[in-house]
Structure 1
């Protein structure tokens, strides 16, 4: 599934960032996330054997969840992500060449940006959704300032320092979605623990969304 399809199906715009997940545990953790209501799953490329985890998740859950890769920094990583069955690419920066490569390969690109200059570079390369990273750098109030200059319809997702405890303020300021890493999953966490945190996060998003 794509991000668009998952959101159109009513899933909350909450992306689980499984940094450090191992291939042998990826499907169990992904299944727990989906059961809790989180259907956007990112495996960063600085995890152990990320292509194996992405492939396993795509094969097991690709019909109900959007599976993608994160910390994608090169065209070679884009190729690996496509070969593994990923549907979207997330990066911590805005590299127009990598964004354009991902879009050309049929992936949705969600590049990281912090300034208007980076945001417009990403949009110019083909991105439709932007990852405000690190979100904690400027905080929720920055969303309105950034939106004042961005084209209407640009998706803004906050990543970094965002979780169940503070997402209500982010949502009130107009954030379109969030990505959550360490507050949801850390290496060594089991599926039950991750599932419980995911359920709490979904509940918090629903409450913040009214």
Structure 2
């Protein structure tokens, strides 16, 4: 079962990324991004892609320019996530055959991202937009557009976001923080997946 959940491993190091990635995938989260402000991120992306590329969607977060897009592709990444809406980054991502999820907050940013080829929209920071803000935007966005809430989305409010029209979630510090061990990440991943599955089943 593929769930619309993105694990954000900000701060992860190359020597720990494979066992942490394995724990996340075992729990049922099969999209993983390594933000580029992590230590040696392209090495971590490469290790994840080599180990899990056949079973998971691996890529980068905090991608801010076209040069970085090329580096993600070279490392074996398949998804590019950004905190902002940069048309050049979106177009370069699509030209490289990867999925593009730019960060947006407003109708202007949302439609600009879609016009340049974004596969989905990352509503960030989610705690500023809130479910009510997303609900208002969903009234004008094409219904097929996948909207992900990132920053402020957690198991205790997944339901509110889903009711507002979120398709999925990016989970950062609620799943992984620098220094967390594999067991901590595994427990948190299982809690996140269980909460999501319970809401969908209901």
Q: Could you say which TM-score interval applies, normalised by the shorter chain?
A: over 0.9
Q: Tell me what 1:107 maps to.
A: 98
> Structure 2 length as normaliser, TM-score?
0.98
Is the 1:172–1:208 Cα contact (8 Å) retained in structure 2?
Answer: no
Q: What are the residue-to-residue correspondences of 1:35-54 with 2, within 5 Å?
A: 35-54=26-45
- The 1-side partners of 2:2 and 2:143 are apart by 23
Counterpart check, 1:19 vs 2:49: no
1:173 corresponds to which of 151, 164, 168? 164
- State the 1:80 CA deviation: 0.4
Q: Match of 1:190?
A: 181
With the length of structure 1 as denominator, give the TM-score of the two structures: 0.94
State the superposition RMSD in angstroms: 0.8
Please tell me whether residue 60 in structure 1 is matched to residue 41 in structure 2. Answer: no
1:153 paired with 2:153, answer: no
Q: Is the contact made by 1:129 and 1:156 (CA closer than 8 Å) also made in structure 2?
A: yes
CA displacement at 1:138 relative to structure 2: 2.2
- CA drift of 1:142 comes to 1.6
Given that 1:17 and 1:185 are in contact with CA atoms closer than 8 Å, whether structure 2 keeps it comes out as yes
- Identify unmatched segments of 5+ residues in structure 2: none
Following TM superposition, the consecutive aligned residue runs of length 4 or more in structure 1 with deviations greater than 6 angstroms are none
Measured in 1, the distance between the counterparts of 2:143 and 2:5 equals: 21
| 8 A Cα contact 1:15 1:41, kept in partner | yes
